[in-house]
């Protein structure tokens, strides 16, 4: 950890108006922060560092809460939820609390030795109440008996939570889980693989290509999903614009500076790559006269068919014939081996969902299948739904724990198509039986419920499922989880119901605790709760006494809002509630899997864009970020439900 005084000099330097230069003449700042600095400075202190940041150009103010140790972070989050959030402040709405490249954020990471830092955002008028709550929090922590911070889960469990959170679109949890995995013993290159996949899902392709370890990642012959993510990033940042506007030759020239990267990412099967990734490989082969790569593309029927279907490159790839130029032999490069658990393994690998669950039951190694995401090419799980459910329900305790590692792949493969509802119910039973109620699990549980209810459940199956969920709800329903609770209620309310009494019973059980503490709910959460309550006729109280002049609507300067999700029902519900909060908004919805003229027009017109990334493709999220105006505010929802979309929209506005 770097010197504390040197860190504070940087933290209160350029970019922070809270205590400029730590001037001793600023007696107000000195007296205000003195207690916080003293409590966190003692040897072995468990009190997190609490530091303010004010940015002159922004109306909101910020507070950095820095755990002393990365293992302490989960407990610090719980303290903040108990004392501060959401009554006085909210966690900043961006994928990572600390932004790489911001000098103050980089200094915080260097000082703490980790990036599991919480940044709170609050309006100026809530400052006094916020700091009173923070003072009470740090005093309470300081008075507790000394304890060891051991919140350790096995690497396999953390990886399963990460994959499920990413499949469910919970970007906040994936950021936190990456930090936990860094301290879990997982190899650094595997952390890099997960980082690449996560940035690709969020469409943050420019940031992906700026990763310091990117060349090392490419040198390790990474799994296919990582290779495709990097190629997709090259496509959206360098190729897509010139290809559309000027044609393949312009795209080839635009790729020229990075063309040498692409052939190194072609080491492996090509038929599993998407059109965007294959287009980059074809243009790179053209730009470098790489006849060997060209012949591989030409010889792979599936890859060549995908290239030929891409209208803008079809004629180009059909006529291009690079001359073969013998290359001098390269000095062999040191290959960085993959750390556990995604190293290459030998032996027969499962080739379908049933075979995968059978391998889990027999405790066989499935790491290669999961790392390469070979399940993307399998027949849908719905084709063997009952068999899969029976296998999952018949697993012993150890088998059930191993089965949880594939739940993220199952949710991802669903893609809002034909649902494997009984398999989803079996995974839900697994979650309930083994108390998988970590915050990072909850968006995944909502996704599993949505899949289960999309299927044609019988009245008995429907009632039993909702009764099981209701029986465990008291363990996780709280104001701090309000958006998750509302997402679940919305999924239940929008799905068909063979037993209306069962639906009303569970929604009332979920919403009643929120209604009792409705004064702590945000305006957007209250709006959605009222809509759901009104549809189901629950009659819970949602009125909140407001200060004079507060209409409950959201004051905005934005006019055009784009909501993006593959769940069209969630889009409509979120749009309905958002319109109540800000009637002047023009709200547009998109569920497009790839970019196109219509989506491009909406993106370029939008002042605010909200994306739910569950099952979203690299092509769509990358396209949205690439085409958005510099002034456009882009937020990712913390899940795929209406409440998550609405929460992100309210924060952005």
Q: How far apart are CA 294 and CA 496, in angstroms?
A: 51
Under 8 Å between Cβ of 50 and 57? no
Paired strand residues for 49: 66
Contacts of 84 (CB under 8 A, 6+ apart): 120, 130, 133, 134, 137
Out of 1.10.274.10, 3.40.50.300, 3.30.450.40, 3.40.50.2300, the CATH code matching 560-652 is 3.40.50.2300
pLDDT of residue 402: 93
Exposure string over 323-357, b if 16+ CB within 10 A, otherwise e: eeeeeeeeeeeeebebeebbeeeeeebbebbbbbb
- Mean residue pLDDT of the chain comes to 85
Q: Residue 108 above 90 pLDDT?
A: yes
Percent of the chain with pLDDT over 70: 89
- pTM of the predicted protein model: 0.73
Summarised one tens digit per residue, pLDDT across range 326-358 is 444 444 343 333 333 444 344 468 889 999 999
pLDDT of residue 423: 96
pLDDT of residue 95: 65
Q: Which residue has the tokens 């923070």?
A: 134
Paired strand residues for 96: none
Summarised one tens digit per residue, pLDDT across range 608-621 is 999 998 888 777 88
pLDDT band at residue 63 under the 50/70/90 scheme: very high
Taking CA atoms, 99 is separated from 108, 115, 527, 587, in Å, by 10, 10, 32, 29
515 versus 597: the higher-pLDDT residue is 515
Q: Which residue has the tokens 């929120």?
A: 514
Q: Residue 129 above 80 pLDDT?
A: yes
Tokens of 551: 């209409």
pLDDT of residue 44: 66
DSSP assignment of 204-265 equals: -HHHHHT-TTHHHHHHT---HHHHHHHHHHHIIIIIHHHHHHT-HHHHHHHTGGGTTHHHHT
Summarised one tens digit per residue, pLDDT across range 200-220 is 998 889 889 988 889 899 988
pLDDT of residue 45: 77
Q: How far apart are CA 650 and CA 653, in angstroms?
A: 5
Q: Which residue has the tokens 């196109």?
A: 596
Closest CA to 169 of 647, 572, 652: 647
Q: How far apart are CA 454 and CA 381, in angstroms?
A: 14
Under 8 Å between Cβ of 289 and 322? yes
Question: Among 244-258, 307-321, 418-432, 553-567, which stretch is predicted with the lowest mean pLDDT?
Answer: 307-321
pLDDT of residue 328: 44
Q: Residue 68 above 90 pLDDT?
A: no
Question: Among 96-105, 118-127, 232-241, which stretch is predicted with the lowest mean pLDDT?
Answer: 96-105
Q: What residue spans of 320-384 are helical by DSSP H?
A: 353-361, 367-372
Q: How far apart are CA 399 and CA 320, in angstroms?
A: 52
Q: Residue 525 above 60 pLDDT?
A: yes
Question: Among 21-35, 49-63, 456-470, 549-563, which stretch is predicted with the lowest mean pLDDT?
Answer: 549-563
Q: What is the mean pLDDT of residues 638-649?
A: 88
pLDDT of residue 338: 39
Q: Which long-range contacts (CB under 8 A, 24 or more apart) does 268-273 make?
A: 268/221, 268/224, 268/227, 269/224, 270/296, 270/297, 270/300, 270/302, 270/303, 271/300, 271/301, 271/302, 271/303, 272/224, 272/228, 272/374, 272/376, 272/377, 273/224, 273/227, 273/228, 273/231, 273/303
Tell me the torsion sign for CA atoms 33, 36, 39, 40.
negative
Q: How far apart are CA 134 and CA 51, in angstroms?
A: 11
Q: Residue 465 above 50 pLDDT?
A: yes
Q: Residue 152 above 70 pLDDT?
A: no
Q: Which residue has the tokens 């993959």?
A: 338
């Amino acid at each position: 950890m770097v010197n504390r005084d040197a860190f504070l000099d940087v933290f209160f330097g350029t970019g922070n108006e809270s205590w400029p230069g730590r001037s001793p003449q600023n007696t107000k700042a000195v007296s205000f922060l003195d207690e916080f600095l003293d409590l966190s400075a003692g040897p072995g202190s468990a009190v997190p560092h609490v530091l303010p940041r004010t940015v002159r150009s922004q109306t909101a103010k910020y507070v950095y809460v820095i755990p002393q140790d990365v293992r302490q972070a989960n407990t610090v989050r719980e303290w903040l939820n108990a004392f501060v959030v959401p009554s006085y402040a909210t966690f900043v709405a961006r994928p990572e609390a600390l932004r790489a490249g911001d000098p103050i954020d980089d200094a915080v990471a260097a000082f703490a030795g980790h990036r599991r830092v919480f940044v709170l955002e609050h309006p100026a008028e809530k400052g006094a109440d916020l700091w009173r709550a923070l003072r009470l929090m740090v005093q309470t922590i300081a008075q507790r008996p000394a304890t060891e911070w051991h919140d350790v889960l096995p690497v396999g469990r953390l990886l399963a939570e990460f994959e499920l959170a990413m499949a469910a679109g919970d970007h906040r949890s994936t950021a936190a889980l990456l930090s936990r995995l860094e301290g879990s013993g997982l190899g650094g290159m595997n952390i890099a693989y997960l980082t690449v996949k996560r940035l690709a899902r969020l469409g943050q392709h420019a940031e992906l290509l700026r990763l310091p370890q990117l060349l090392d990642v490419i040198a390790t012959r990474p799994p296919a999903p990582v290779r495709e993510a990097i190629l997709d990033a090259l496509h959206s940042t360098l190729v897509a614009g010139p290809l559309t506007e000027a044609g393949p030759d312009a795209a080839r020239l635009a790729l020229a500076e990075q063309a040498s990267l692409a052939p190194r990412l072609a080491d492996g099967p090509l038929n599993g790559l998407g059109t965007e990734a294959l287009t980059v490989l074809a243009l790179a082969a053209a730009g470098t006269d790489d006849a060997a790569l060209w012949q591989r593309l030409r010889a792979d029927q599936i890859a060549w068919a995908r290239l030929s279907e891409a209208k803008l490159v079809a004629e180009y790839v059909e006529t291009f014939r690079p001359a073969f130029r013998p290359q001098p032999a390269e000095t062999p490069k040191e290959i960085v081996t993959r750390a556990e658990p995604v190293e290459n393994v030998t032996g027969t690998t499962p080739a379908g969902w049933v075979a995968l669950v059978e391998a889990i039951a027999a405790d066989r190694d499935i790491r290669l299948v999961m790392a390469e995401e070979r399940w993307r090419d399998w027949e849908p799980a719905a084709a063997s739904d009952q068999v899969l459910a029976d296998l999952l329900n018949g697993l012993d305790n150890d088998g059930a724990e191993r089965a949880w590692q594939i739940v993220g792949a199952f949710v991802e493969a669903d893609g809002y198509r034909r649902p494997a509802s009984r398999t989803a119910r079996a995974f839900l039973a697994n979650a309930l039986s083994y108390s998988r109620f970590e915050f990072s699990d909850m968006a995944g549980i909502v996704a599993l419920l949505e899949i289960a209810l999309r299927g044609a459940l019988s009245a008995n199956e429907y009632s039993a499922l909702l009764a099981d969920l209701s029986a465990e709800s008291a363990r996780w329903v709280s104001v701090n989880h309000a958006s998750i609770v509302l997402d679940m209620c919305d999924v239940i309310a929008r799905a068909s119901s063979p037993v209306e009494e069962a639906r009303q019973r569970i929604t009332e059980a979920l919403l009643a605790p929120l209604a009792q503490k409705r004064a702590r709910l945000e305006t957007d959460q209250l709006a959605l709760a009222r809509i759901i309550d009104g549809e189901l006729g629950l009659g819970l109280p949602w009125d909140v006494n407001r200060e004079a002049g507060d209409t409950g609507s959201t004051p905005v300067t934005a006019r055009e809002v784009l909501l993006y999700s593959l769940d069209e029902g969630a889009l409509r519900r979120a749009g309905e509630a958002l319109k109540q909060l800000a009637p002047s908004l023009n709200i547009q919805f998109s569920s497009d899997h790839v970019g196109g003229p219509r989506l491009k027009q909406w993106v370029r017109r939008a002042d605010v864009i909200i994306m739910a990334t569950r099952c979203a493709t690299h092509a769509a999220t990358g396209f949205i970020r690439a085409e958005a105006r510099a002034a456009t505010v882009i937020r990712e929802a913390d899940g795929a439900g209406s409440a998550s979309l609405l929460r992100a929209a309210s924060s952005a506005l």
